[in-house]
Chains A and B, each alone.
Chain A
Amino acid sequence: MFVSHLAMHIPDGFLSVPVSLFGWALAIGLIAIALGQTKKVLGERQVPLMGILAAFIFAAQMINFPVAGGTSGHLIGGMLAAILLGPWGAVLVMTSVVALQALLFQDGGLLVLGFNIFNMGIVSAFAGYGVYSLLGKVTGHSRAGNLFNAAVGAWVSVEAAAVAVTLQLVVSGTSPLSVAFPAMVGVHALIGIGEALITVGALAFIQQARPDLVGRPNQMAKRGAGWIAVGLVIALVIVGFSPLADPNPDGLERVAEDQGFIDTAQGSSYEILPDYTVPFIEDSALTTIAAGVIGVLIVAGIGYSVGRLNHRNDQQMEHM
């Protein structure tokens, strides 16, 4: 969608210098891993395959469909690439797309290119693929199940990238959290639906025409066994940012305080991490980070054990 282009490619000047450099450090490290991982699987086919498929994403973004009132939706592509090439392959392809958009067409700045690659290449590929493969462990790999998981994954990939962009803008002090967060998340919830629809359409076609490219638990994805770790790192980094973001409380709480009804609010009957803080740590920024980290680890632990359980079931089924 036209809007998504504007909202995702950050131009220079919107991120502070330390934030931009941090983005470069993240992007460089992860691209280096992606280069190594895809090389192991593809060998010398790596260069032509990754290069041509990055050009494919460019061309696919031209194919739009009318939505309503003169607007039209088009593919962003992180999720589709991750399903077809595995997350590491998707990272390389999307890195190439985003870098070319900046260098050829001035879509997005140069100093902030590190974070643009991180948001649209790494966050969207791993967040989407993480959800897709976690759901895959629950629903199995039926055709319909795959399509459904891809739809959810595509929606999450767009939202995750939007959240990452928002956090970077907020940390740089160029956009207030209370306005930017609901606006970005709201707009991208709609854009994500378009992405989900079109990803499903593409995947359904490929499953029909070349099932060998999707159906098998593909080799590229197996290589990404470390993706859980990377997904975690990304989630932790985003969590690490959040408390440094804005000293003001979030929008709803702010309104509540202003209107004087915060006292009437009731806590839920059970709280593991009350107010997102860990009780025995004093410093407030530190406790919020700690609480976020614990939350991420709990969710990851649940995901991992569900995966293990399913895997064991599969093996038992095979023995029977």
Chain B
Amino acid sequence: MAGAFQERYRPGDSRIHRLDPRIKTVTALLLILGIVLTPEHAWPAYPLIWALLGSMAEIGGIRAWRLGRMAALVLPFTLAAVALPFTMPGRTVFEILGLAASDTGLARFGAVVLKSWLSAQAALLLTTTTPFTDLLWALSSLRVPPTLVTILGFTYRYLHTLKEEAERLIRARDSRSGTLPGQKSGGSLWWRAQVAGAMIGNLFIRSYERSERVYLAMRARGYTGEMKGFSRAAPTINAMLSGALPVLVLVLIEVIAVILWSS
């Protein structure tokens, strides 16, 4: 699970890093929307979109192929769509184990895989170039309820604290669980689950009590239920134009795709 807490953000000073986080968030969402709306059979559109995202990655100081490889983390989910070629009606392309794969099914499957891979790249472009606190601030200025944003901020603040608390519990379990080579270790499945459950119960109580201490400390410093932050100026025209550029390129690709390749 070590990789599970690996944040995506990579510090840098590129044009994309410096862009207003509000603009970046909106641009990323629009790009994903555009990618998902691509007509299914518009095959030439996919490499064009990839080129767009790849060149943005290079501007942001990430190698295009690295971004593509990072985005491959969505590929295991394609298992959910793998039955499509064999269940959609259409002309049979090939047969495996007596199952016929249809052309329409294969096309749908290919489009889903490509779209999710490209969308993941657009999202990664946002998260690798934006510190999480900036992202939260962008969310709050995009009308996400301020209480929810503050809760997200708290979760982020205590994520690593509680992760280390959990690691201490796991280390303690490991040191209690000595085994002899060749001997069967541990009890039944029920017993193992109860041990893990008790550790989680323990962690819950520690977290709950920590939240009380944190709350009292906040009260002592004058917290009244509202978080205060600095307001920032409206985004500049320049920033808006930089954010709009990739969206316009994508719109152009989509328009061509609809006119030329969608049939």
Question: When A63-B169, A106-B73 are in contact, do A53 and B193 touch as well, CB less than 8 Å?
Answer: no
Beta-carbon contact of A197 and B190 below 8 Å: yes
Cα(A7)–Cα(B74), bound, Å? 11
Question: When A100-B156, A205-B202 are in contact, do A65 and B196 touch as well, CB less than 8 Å?
Answer: yes
B161 adjacent to chain A (CB < 8 Å):
yes
B window 112-135: CB within 8 A of A: 112-120, 123-124, 127, 132, 135
B246 adjacent to chain A (CB < 8 Å):
no
A201 surroundings in chain B (CB, below 8 A): 193-198, 200-201
A20 — nearest CB in chain B belongs to which residue?
A: B36
A6 surroundings in chain B (CB, below 8 A): 76-77, 79
Question: When A55-B159, A201-B195, A202-B198 are in contact, do A11 and B153 touch as well, CB less than 8 Å?
Answer: no
Task: Name the distance in Å between A54's Cβ and chain B's nearest Cβ.
Answer: 4
Beta-carbon contact of B165 and A59 below 8 Å: yes
B170 surroundings in chain A (CB, below 8 A): 62-63
Beta-carbon contact of A17 and B36 below 8 Å: yes
Beta-carbon contact of A13 and B108 below 8 Å: no
Beta-carbon contact of B119 and A176 below 8 Å: no
Cα(A54)–Cα(B151), bound, Å? 9
Q: Which residues in B have some Cβ–Cβ distance to A below 8 Å?
A: 1, 4-8, 28-29, 32-33, 35-37, 70, 73-74, 76-77, 79-81, 83-84, 87-88, 108, 112-120, 123-124, 127, 132, 135, 145, 147-148, 150-159, 161-163, 165-167, 169-170, 186, 189-190, 192-205, 207-208, 210-211, 214-215, 218-219, 223-225, 227
A55 surroundings in chain B (CB, below 8 A): 154-159, 161-162, 207
Q: List 29 A-B contacts (CB under 8 A).
A: A6-B76, A12-B115, A12-B116, A13-B36, A13-B118, A17-B36, A20-B36, A31-B148, A35-B147, A44-B225, A47-B225, A48-B211, A48-B218, A52-B211, A55-B154, A55-B157, A55-B159, A55-B161, A60-B203, A61-B1, A61-B4, A62-B167, A63-B170, A103-B135, A105-B7, A109-B32, A175-B80, A176-B87, A213-B205
Contact of A103 among B113, B132, B145 (CB under 8 A): B132
A window 11-67: CB within 8 A of B: 11-14, 16-17, 20, 31-32, 35, 39, 43-56, 58-67
Beta-carbon contact of B80 and A14 below 8 Å: yes
Cα(A67)–Cα(B116), bound, Å? 31
A11 surroundings in chain B (CB, below 8 A): 74, 77, 116, 119-120
Beta-carbon contact of A213 and B80 below 8 Å: no
B108 surroundings in chain A (CB, below 8 A): 173-174
Beta-carbon contact of A50 and B151 below 8 Å: yes
Interface locus among A90-98, A265-273, A276-284, A303-311: A90-98
A104 surroundings in chain B (CB, below 8 A): 7-8, 127, 132, 156
Task: Name the distance in Å between A212's Cβ and chain B's nearest Cβ.
Answer: 11
Question: When A47-B227, A52-B211 are in contact, do A204 and B35 touch as well, CB less than 8 Å?
Answer: no
Cα(A286)–Cα(B62), bound, Å? 52
A319 adjacent to chain B (CB < 8 Å):
no
Beta-carbon contact of A47 and B28 below 8 Å: no
A200 surroundings in chain B (CB, below 8 A): 193-194, 197
Beta-carbon contact of B116 and A14 below 8 Å: yes
Closest 10 CB pairs of A and B: A201-B197, A51-B154, A205-B201, A13-B116, A12-B119, A44-B225, A13-B115, A197-B193, A56-B207, A179-B83
Against B, the Cβ 8 Å flags (1 = close, 0 = not) of A231-246 are: 0000000000000000
Contact of B84 among A31, A39, A175, A213 (CB under 8 A): A175
Beta-carbon contact of B204 and A194 below 8 Å: no
B123 surroundings in chain A (CB, below 8 A): 12, 102, 106, 109-110
Number of A-B contacts defined by CB within 8 Å: 282
Known: A56-B204, A97-B155. 18 other contacts (CB 8 A): A13-B36, A13-B114, A31-B148, A46-B151, A52-B210, A55-B161, A56-B207, A62-B166, A63-B199, A111-B32, A169-B80, A174-B81, A180-B83, A198-B197, A203-B197, A204-B197, A205-B200, A213-B205
Q: Which residues in A have some Cβ–Cβ distance to B below 8 Å?
A: 6-7, 9-14, 16-17, 20, 31-32, 35, 39, 43-56, 58-68, 73-75, 80, 84, 92, 95-97, 99-100, 102-106, 109-111, 169, 173-176, 178-180, 194, 197-206, 209-210, 213
B162 — nearest CB in chain A belongs to which residue?
A: A59
Contact of A96 among B28, B87, B120, B152 (CB under 8 A): B152
A176 surroundings in chain B (CB, below 8 A): 83-84, 87-88
Cα(A60)–Cα(B158), bound, Å? 13
Beta-carbon contact of B151 and A62 below 8 Å: no
Task: Name the distance in Å between A146's Cβ and chain B's nearest Cβ.
Answer: 14
Cα(A74)–Cα(B37), bound, Å? 36
Question: When A6-B77, A63-B200 are in contact, do A103 and B192 touch as well, CB less than 8 Å?
Answer: no
A14 surroundings in chain B (CB, below 8 A): 77, 80-81, 112, 116
Cα(A54)–Cα(B117), bound, Å? 29
Question: When A56-B207, A100-B152 are in contact, do A12 and B201 touch as well, CB less than 8 Å?
Answer: no
Task: Name the distance in Å between B92's Cβ and chain A's nearest Cβ.
Answer: 17
Task: Name the distance in Å between A171's Cβ and chain B's nearest Cβ.
Answer: 13
